[in-house]
Amino acid sequence: MSEQKALLIESKQGRFVVSSIPKPTLPPPGELIVKVQATALNPVDWKIQAYGIFYEKYPAIVGSDVAGDVEEIGEGVVGFKKGDRVFLQGSFANEYGGFQQYTRARADFVAHIPKQLSYSQAASIPLALATAAIGLYVNQPSGIGLNPLFDTSTNYSGQAALVIGGSTSVGQYAIQLLRYVKFGPIITYASGRHSEYLKSLGATDCIDRNQVSLSELPRVVKKLTGGVPVKVVYDAISNDSQFAGYEILAEDGGMVLTGENKLQDKIDGTGSKKTVARVFASPFMPTTQEFGKAMYKNLTKLIEDGDLVPNRVEDLPDGLAGIIAGLERMKKDQVSGVKLVAYPQETS
């Protein structure tokens, strides 16, 4: 049986190690085997290792972002041929993880990489985009329902939105998806050094988080909007930032959280009409799969048309082994405004 290299979490909360394991062959009907050329890192990867969440079986292979080449094609799959450049989201199961040299993929959730994108740029997209898109566009309880059919004509012009943590990978896609449905103004809260870049993605106003504290944020946003109600708050940080976001949110507005919801006692029993959705960024669930398929159908064109640009990327050395130091940097909050990407085929 032929072998491949994979980055394994040896045991629950155990070490990351590079190891040889069997290479997947013969994809089941509806699936592809993809040779992983680039895989991006996400906070959830180190959280799974550190806290022992989401996986029951070990050793475990994580990694949610894949860009690569179609290696094998399962029965019934149309639209792909061997060697096509593709990108896709991995999921929390070893056969679908990104931190290995070959992975399985459900063909309905795979898109062609547009010519202008490198493998590493394409790998920056899947999980972070799904986190933004499901939270903003899918109906409750998964999201706040702004564009459940991924319709091109949805129009919220004249309505204000705020993205807290605009320079995060997720925040950058949230800004672009708000621009796609024509929100304006789109205000963001992030480090000032990213302001120009975030404006290029669609932000109209950037509030520097090093100048304005969370407690001052509601007042500063109100001044910027001239009192126009903020219909949407996307909180890509979701620590105590959610209290500021909730205060800013219009009475009939919707707020998306990427982390634990601490707002329950503000919502329960107060008669508030504000909607709060905590996103779980899987496009494969019964409640999200129709939307996920529509998103993957649209994805290549969205990028070709310039509606969506990938994150800026930093390429990591040392193949799969390089992921370990990259995740340490993320854990220590030492990554700012870029997506870290590893190249599994360069593993020695």
Ligand X SMILES: NC(=O)c1ccc[n+]([C@@H]2O[C@H](COP(=O)([O-])OP(=O)(O)OC[C@H]3O[C@@H](n4cnc5c(N)ncnc54)[C@H](OP(=O)(O)O)[C@@H]3O)[C@@H](O)[C@H]2O)c1
Interacting residues toward ligand X by CB under 6 A: 42-44, 127-128, 131, 165, 167-170, 189-191, 194, 209, 236-237, 258-259, 279-281, 330, 335-337
CA 13 distance to own-chain centroid:
24
Reported as type and span, the H/E element at residue 187 is strand 186-190
Question: Closest separation between CB of residue 336 and ligand X, Å?
Answer: 3
Shortest reach from residue 259's CB to ligand X, in Å: 5
Compute the least distance from the CB of residue 170 to ligand X, in Å.
4
CA atoms of 344 and 348, how far apart (whole Å): 9
Among residues 170 and 233, whose Cβ is nearest to ligand X?
170
CA–CA separation, 340 and 40 (whole Å): 6
86 φ, ψ (degrees, to nearest 5): -135, 165
Q: How far is the CB of 18 from ligand X (least distance, A)?
A: 23
Q: How many CB atoms lie within 10 A of CB 149?
A: 10
Give me the helices (H) in the chain, please.
43-51, 119-123, 126-137, 169-180, 195-201, 217-225, 241-248, 264-267, 289-304, 322-331
CB of 74 to ligand X, least distance (A): 27
- If the CB atoms of residues 33 and 308 are measured against ligand X, the closer one turns out to be 308
CB-nearer residue toward ligand X: 220 or 237? 237
- The backbone region for 130, taken as left when phi is positive above 0, alpha when psi lies in -120 to 50, beta otherwise, is alpha
In the bound complex, what is the minimum distance in angstroms from residue 189's beta carbon to ligand X?
A: 6
Write out the DSSP string of 220-272: HHHHHHTT--EEEEEESS-STHHHHHHHHEEEEEEEEESS----HHHHTTTT-
Alpha carbon distance 123, 37 (integer Å): 9
Question: Strand pairing of 160-164 and 186-190?
Answer: parallel
CB of 72: closest distance to ligand X in angstroms? 29
Q: Which is nearer to ligand X, 88 or 335 (CB)?
A: 335
Spatial CA neighbour of 34 closest among 23, 21, 22, 45: 23
The residue among 73 and 324 lying less far from ligand X, judged by its C-beta, is: 324
Least distance from ligand X to the Cβ atom of residue 47, Å = 6
Nearest to ligand X of 70, 186 (CB atom): 186
CB nearer ligand X, residue 31 or residue 235: 235
Closest separation between CB of residue 330 and ligand X, Å? 6
What are the backbone dihedrals phi and psi of residue 293, each rounded to the nearest 5 degrees, phi first? -65, -45
Closest to ligand X by CB, 92 vs 150, is 92
* Tokens describing residue 186: 């789109």
Residues 6 or more apart whose CB falls under 8 angstroms from that of 319 comprise 5, 18, 342, 343, 344, 345, 346, 347, 348
Nearest CB to ligand X, comparing residues 162 and 279: 279
Q: Report the distance separating Cα 68 and Cα 122, nearest Å.
A: 9
